[in-house]
Structure 1
Amino acid sequence: MKRFTYFFFLISFTFSWSQSASIKGLISTDAEGIPFANVYIKGTKNGTATNEEGFYSITNLSPGNYILVASAIGYEAVRKPFLIGKEDTITLNITLQPSAEALDEMVVTGTLKAVSRLESAVPVEVYSPTFLKKNPTPSIFEALQNVNGVRPQINCNVCNTGDIHINGLEGPYTLVLIDGMPIVSGLGTVYGLSGIPNSLIDQIEIVKGPASTLYGSEAVGGLINIITKNTLEAPDFFADAFVTGWGEYNLDVGAKVAIGKKTAMLLGVNYFKYDQLIDNNGDNFTDLTLQDRISIFQKWNFKRDKSRLFSLAGRFFYEDRWGGELQWTPEFRGGDEIYGESIYTRRWEILGQYQLPVDEKVMLSFSYNDHSQNSVYGNLPYLADQRIGFSQLTWDKAIGKHDLLFGGAVRYNYYDDDTAATQDLRGNQADEIIIPSLFIQDEIKFSKKHSLLAGFRYDYDNRHGNIFTPRAAYRFKFSDNDIFRVNFGTGFRVVNLFTEDHAALTGARDVIITEELNPERSTNINLNYLKKIYADNGTFVSIDASAFYTRFSNQILPDYDTNPNQIIYDNLNGKSVSKGLSANLETVFPNGLRFLVGATYQDVSQTENGVTTQQILTERFTGTWNVSYNIRAIDLSIDYTGNLYGPMRLPLISDLDPRSEFSPTWSIQNIQFTYKGIPDFEFYGGVKNLLNWTPNRNNPFIIARANDPFDENVQLNNQGNVVATADNPFALTFDPSYVYGPNQGIRGFLGLRYTIF
């Protein structure tokens, strides 16, 4: 017994002696300590949180080499190696730098000037590259599927082109910018949006509600500003490649090249290829469009005296995509033997910003793009060219409590195609116009808590005359953690029908334009409340809630209902309303668990001749979520992302059409595992569409008359209406527009990222 007691005492003494070392220090910014920061030793269970002054202490360490990891909400994590000996007490101070996900990040979209997100009178949602990595996709179009209130809408079952809806509004109401330049519009919105490499994105800013006062036509329902990396701050080299179980291959490669001491160039290349013939729903049509595309991006940043800005960027994009019957090959392109939709897209862009060398802050911005489209939809050709030039000069001037912005812009639009859109009595006439604009904005800061922003824009379009778009925004800051905003705005949109509505070009419906189309107008009010909560244990909670109401006049929506064999376009003789509630809840726990949950309820309807109907292809409610957990001890992170969409009204062909008039409630869910244990490398993999959901569930078919895509066996009566026959019992014509979600089922994916700073 004495031997056992002596042995136990010796072991206990040795253990306590070997565990007597400790480490302490201060976790801080350049100015002050960071309270409740997470501090732990990698590969062990030893960890703590800093106190209110930012100090930490970890005791009972064994001698050896370790890595100390410090992280805090809104800051980049830092890893510091250290060596500790027996009974040592060492001090290790760490300075954290703000991250791109900081709660007080800078935004430019709402006011055309860089301001703190919390100080902006216009609510702006910001998404970083970290958010995009949680569900890796080959294009920005697909990446937005997990943003609350934003839905990528596929418009064709055959060629899979699409647009982006904000708060239930159709894609043409969303303006997509690159570095603040409106170069993704018209044809580019439908066919060129998929060519923006995710690896070149610094952040994405989203404004919901009209922004025409600053950005002109198309910013009626909202805008998305894709801000690319600054070459002076980008990594020296980066590569991101992944492959999916469906045979999709995506590669992003970029490099920074320093040219002298004052110039740096960023080169990025994105390549995507998918060439597998998959027909899981058995209709003899490709479930997913085959694609082969490349996008080359180059951006130059120049250091100038007094930190004046000068950047120049360019992008070239080429894509060859086709979908259709499985037997289709390029030899059948444009013929009427085997149906296929083949689209060749060539596009180049140039954009830049130059701050004038004067004492005042005067900025010149410019962009130009050329988009060439060579398409066939079965035996229907669609050849189109679009060129958009844009130049804008702004003067940013602060006078007392007034923060003024004066600006003028000129937009050049050229559009020509082989459809009725550019035909008149003289034959083919390209649509070519120059639209000059003037705008002014004044933000008045009455006090630290109260500010008012007022803006006014004037555009002149010689087809439609003078167009005025005012707006106002009020911000009341109860405290640093409570902000209330009220925004009122107007918007307008000049319609380019055939560049925006894919349904006008595909299928067998006749396109009817009953009148000269006038610009659409909108009026919007938006209430927004932001609440931040910091718990004593380091937990952070953010609640961002909004109520919105938008009323349209002169709205142009495709009418599928009056005559099932036609798509009728005219200005709505009535009103169209989009209203609803939206909220995001974000919570970050000290143990590495983080989740972002969003939900939107919306009512989008149109009223004409006293009859109110739900807008077609618009869901009543949506939900999104992003749950992440970091297992620090093994450098593994888990991301579970998903979305949920409520029923939406779908375009049926006839009264006998057996397909469901409304879509079911449906969801796409994904899971990803990422390992970061090797410096400079990230290995990731997971499963997309865990529920294996596709739109053909509970439907007899998706594409109408897929067995007769040229309507060779469709019979018509004397009035031109389809007659039900034994071969065509539902009185249908070929039509692929019955689509509300992707046909791609469950699939695994594997990827690798490599970065050198």
Structure 2
Amino acid sequence: MSKYFLCILFALIFSISFAQHDSSKKHQIKGTITSLNKPLAYVNVYLQGTSIGVITDENGNYSLSVNHGDYILVAQAIGYSIEKKSIHIDGPSTYNFDLKEDVLGLDQVVISATKTSLNRKEAPVLVTVTSAKDLEQINATSLIDGLTFQPGLRTETNCQNCGFSQIRINGLDGAYSQILVNSRPIFSSLNGIYGLEQIPSNMIEQIEVTRGGGSAIFGANAIAGTINIITKDPEQNGYQVNSKLNWIDGKAPESVLSFNSTNVSKDLNKGITFYGMYRHRKNYDANNDGFSELPKLNNINFGLKSFYNFNDRKKLTAEFTTLQEFRRGGDQLDLPAHEVLTAEEIKNRIVGGGLTYEYYSPSEKNKISLYSNTQSTLSNNYYGANQDPDGYGITEDITFLSGFQHSYKVNEFIGGSMKLTSGVEYNFNKITEDRRNALVDFFKQETNTLGIFTQADWKIRKNLKVLTGVRGEYFESNFRNKSLFILNPRVSVLYNITKDLSFRSGYSQGFRAPQFFSEDVHSEIITGEIRNVALADNLKEEKSHSFIGSLEYSHKHDDHQFLATLEGFFTRINNPFVYEDRGVDGNGLLLKEKINGDRATVNGINIEVKYSPNPKYSIQLGGTAQNSYYENYFEPEDGISTNKILRTPQLYGNALINYTPNKKWDFNLSSVLTGKMYVPHVEGYITETRLEETPTMVDVGFNTGYTIRLDHKNDIKLTSGIKNIFNSYQDDFDKGVDRDPNYVYGPSQPRTFYIGVKFGTNL
């Protein structure tokens, strides 16, 4: 590992050498930020392109110390449109702003394009955002609840026993997407099985999605796209406590209790925010056969995020999270797992954290980020059928990530300007699985990945920007005799045709190394028998080529806001990983083998429309039409031959409507459309394996909230609602011990009623 740290050390020395010094005389500027003539607290006020900035106090006032010169002064707050002023500083000055509400988030700040904060309109890579406000409107409990309301994204449940779920981007399954937490790929392989349901919504500030490869800064395995979960920063003092009670199909209760608490110093140089969630859900049996369709679930989640500003150029951020979860599916859940007909029982313990140090040079041209994150997952589990006492096992997953990133701004470059970003990132992952069953071999996989990247964000003209770069990844694993090194170029173009109309286009190359992923380590129970996965002896890496292009029209005038996006995508995957049934292995266990299939293609269009005539109303519509297939036929199950990428509808979409007549009431209507698709159905309960075409399903939900003002800071909010009003839910589940638990599709829950109460600061 020494060679990796030498690379990081060399790059760090190289970056620091750019630092410059400026000791010009400074002048004070001040002002007040308001909205509708009322002061706004905790607004970010800063000089564009610099690290100089402050947050307004409780009365909306700010003060900055600035060198002589010309600047662009920016006022920015969550939920409000960004306002800018060109200013000339040659002495003390006053600049006031009056901000308007940004109902549709047209001026949202995103990080996912370049790992730096910028207005999404200026991002060369199209980034779509689900905000904390959106999560509240749909009454989201965890991350997975909020991923459906973006074009090209679809969530699905893959197992009735354990509740394993995944996210698909543009039709490609979860292994083709990279899930980031605060731009760090710390979401481990094992957490890919249940992690989407383990991240509580109350820790999320926004979810940023880029479809396609996009930026070279992120890993080469981001073939379908990236999902970047931006957690809440400690920005203002306050607290919130939220309690919710659900009744699944009116008979299976689920209770959720969550809290947030934030404390920031008066000088705004340090702060900390805490979050926590407790969740308890009873198992749900849809067809009264004594076997669960939704597993019993208990989890408790706690975390924090803090920062310390040494000065206006040096910042340290620390994060910590921990989770304990129990889930159990199958039959007779009150008995020990090994005494029943079928059981999947998982006890997870997750601990993780990270440190990030950021440094700006005095000239504001250089920025250095040093970061290190780690996460450990320990899973005591049982996968067994027919009272198998040997179904117990322990699975452990450890991830360590460390790296640095250097950005350098060139104010004048061939008639334009450029920002050059380079870095090195080292990622270590170890997965072990030890099962009591002597027929199942001890499993241990260690992978080391060194990523080296450089990327140029070149603003050629005022209306033309090119983002181009390359990422090289060196990969080695104890399952391979030789290492891999693959270069992955990526390029994106942003052309602002008019002030309101933008065109984006991009190409990216990616790869996935031949290794075990989360879906492989996860043991399957098919019709009462355990099934394992093996890697083919000649398994090669996947390589992909993705093209994406979009037109986006965004306009705002007074209180009116409108956004329309049309996006086309095409991805070609060479040597894709597919699974073929291999019958029984030498130990008598059912076996699927991961092999390289023939070339795969996914193409289609995404459409998104948002409209708000005034702050009281907003409507959001999104839809995807796509085609996904392999070049030739293969056999995913014995008895099935197909060239289709399964479990992927050709048509799916979503809608979200909000009406807020006043500060007390809000009403929200949501809908998710899942079109017809093909799903394997394995024999056992049925007489022979076949490929089923599922029906079109529409999940409609409604909720309302009423806020009561207790005093000038504290509120209480009462909510109630119904999910899946028309009970559009699968009605042909298998029954009994011989069922196929992977034959599951459509909405994750039947009709569900819920009520809630939340109280705290400025809801």
Is contact 1:315–1:350 with CA below 8 Å preserved after alignment? Answer: yes
Q: Secondary structure at the match of 1:199?
A: helix
Shift of 1:514: 3.2
Name the residue aligned to 2:297.
291
Name the residue aligned to 1:432.
446
Name the residue aligned to 1:138.
141
Is contact 2:236–2:263 with CA below 8 Å preserved after alignment? Answer: no
Name the residue aligned to 1:752.
757
Q: Secondary structure at the match of 1:557?
A: strand
Tell whether 2:253 aligns with 1:253: no
Provide the rounded CA distance (Å) in 2 between the counterparts of 1:505 and 1:545: 39
Tell me the amino acid that sits aligned with residue 557 of structure 1: V
Q: TM-score under structure 2 normalisation?
A: 0.78
Question: What are structure 2's unaligned runs of at least 5 residues?
Answer: 1-29, 39-76, 83-95, 635-640
Is contact 1:199–1:240 with CA below 8 Å preserved after alignment? Answer: no
Shift of 1:235: 4.3
Is contact 1:648–1:663 with CA below 8 Å preserved after alignment? Answer: yes
In structure 1, which of residues 237, 242, 245 is the aligned counterpart of residue 244 of structure 2?
A: 242
Tell whether 2:667 aligns with 1:638: yes
Is contact 2:186–2:375 with CA below 8 Å preserved after alignment? Answer: yes
Is contact 1:373–1:385 with CA below 8 Å preserved after alignment? Answer: yes
Tell whether 2:377 aligns with 1:342: no
Name the residue aligned to 1:482.
501
Q: Secondary structure at the match of 1:737?
A: coil
Distance 1:511 1:203, change over 3 A: closer
In structure 2, which of residues 368, 372, 376 is the aligned counterpart of residue 370 of structure 1?
A: 376
Tell me the amino acid that sits aligned with residue 122 of structure 1: V
Distance 1:567 1:131, change over 3 A: farther
Q: TM-score under structure 1 normalisation?
A: 0.79
Provide the rounded CA distance (Å) in 1 between the counterparts of 2:447 and 2:522: 25
Name the residue aligned to 1:628.
658
Residues 65-76 of structure 1 aligned to structure 2 (within 5 Å): 75=80
Distance 1:207 1:363, change over 3 A: same
Q: Secondary structure at the match of 1:213?
A: coil
Shift of 1:156: 0.2
Name the residue aligned to 2:573.
552
Name the residue aligned to 2:54.
none
Provide the rounded CA distance (Å) in 2 between the counterparts of 1:744 and 1:581: 28
Provide the rounded CA distance (Å) in 2 between the counterparts of 1:483 and 1:499: 38
Name the residue aligned to 1:579.
603
Q: Secondary structure at the match of 2:546?
A: strand
Tell whether 2:409 aligns with 1:383: no
Shift of 1:440: 0.3
Distance 1:377 1:683, change over 3 A: same
Provide the rounded CA distance (Å) in 1 between the counterparts of 2:146 and 2:164: 15
Q: Which has the higher strand share?
A: 2
Distance 1:74 1:357, change over 3 A: closer
Q: Secondary structure at the match of 1:192?
A: helix
Name the residue aligned to 1:739.
744
Provide the rounded CA distance (Å) in 2 between the counterparts of 1:298 and 1:640: 32
Shift of 1:96: 2.8
Provide the rounded CA distance (Å) in 1 between the counterparts of 2:452 and 2:106: 33
Shift of 1:566: 5.8
Distance 1:625 1:562, change over 3 A: farther
Name the residue aligned to 1:683.
718
Provide the rounded CA distance (Å) in 2 between the counterparts of 1:562 and 1:351: 44
Name the residue aligned to 2:328.
322
Shift of 1:544: 1.2
Name the residue aligned to 2:272.
265
Distance 1:692 1:38, change over 3 A: farther
Tell whether 2:592 aligns with 1:568: yes
Tell whether 2:127 aligns with 1:113: no
Decide which structure has the larger Cα Rg and report it.
Answer: 1
Aligned Cα root-mean-square deviation (Å): 3.2
Shift of 1:257: 3.2
Name the residue aligned to 1:66.
none
Is contact 1:299–1:313 with CA below 8 Å preserved after alignment? Answer: yes
Shift of 1:234: 4.1
Q: Secondary structure at the match of 1:284?
A: coil
Distance 1:142 1:569, change over 3 A: farther
Name the residue aligned to 1:84.
none
C-alpha distance after superposition, 1:125-160 (max 9, x if no partner): 112111001111321112223332211211101111
Provide the rounded CA distance (Å) in 2 between the counterparts of 1:669 and 1:468: 45
Shift of 1:180: 0.9
Name the residue aligned to 2:27.
none
Shift of 1:218: 3.3
Name the residue aligned to 2:172.
169
| 367-376 vs 503-512, greater mean Cα deviation | 503-512
C-alpha distance after superposition, 1:585-629 (max 9, x if no partner): 001012722100001001111123699722111111111000111
Name the residue aligned to 2:727.
692
In structure 2, which of residues 422, 429, 436 is the aligned counterpart of residue 406 of structure 1?
A: 422
Tell me the amino acid that sits aligned with residue 406 of structure 2: W
Q: Secondary structure at the match of 1:518?
A: coil
C-alpha distance after superposition, 1:329-364 (max 9, x if no partner): 352x235x4322101101111122111475431111
Tell me the amino acid that sits aligned with residue 194 of structure 2: Y
Tell me the amino acid that sits aligned with residue 575 of structure 2: N
Provide the rounded CA distance (Å) in 1 between the counterparts of 2:728 and 2:599: 35
Q: Secondary structure at the match of 1:372?
A: strand
Question: What are structure 1's unaligned runs of at least 5 residues?
Answer: 1-28, 40-71, 78-92, 710-733
Q: Secondary structure at the match of 1:215?
A: coil
Is contact 1:373–1:384 with CA below 8 Å preserved after alignment? Answer: yes
Provide the rounded CA distance (Å) in 2 between the counterparts of 1:442 and 1:428: 45
C-alpha distance after superposition, 1:471-512 (max 9, x if no partner): 001110012211100011111223553522477532234645
Residues 269-284 of structure 1 aligned to structure 2 (within 5 Å): 269-275=276-282, 277-284=283-290
Tell me the amino acid that sits aligned with residue 451 of structure 2: S
Name the residue aligned to 2:643.
613
Q: Secondary structure at the match of 2:579?
A: coil
Provide the rounded CA distance (Å) in 1 between the counterparts of 2:704 and 2:205: 23
Provide the rounded CA distance (Å) in 2 between the counterparts of 1:185 and 1:218: 13
In structure 2, which of residues 118, 125, 128 is the aligned counterpart of residue 125 of structure 1?
A: 128
Provide the rounded CA distance (Å) in 2 between the counterparts of 1:561 and 1:661: 21
Tell me the amino acid that sits aligned with residue 397 of structure 2: Q
Provide the rounded CA distance (Å) in 2 between the counterparts of 1:652 and 1:102: 42
Distance 1:735 1:196, change over 3 A: same
Aligned-residue sequence identity (percent) comes to 23
Tell me the amino acid that sits aligned with residue 436 of structure 1: L
Tell me the amino acid that sits aligned with residue 133 of structure 1: E
Tell whether 2:501 aligns with 1:471: no
Distance 1:235 1:561, change over 3 A: farther
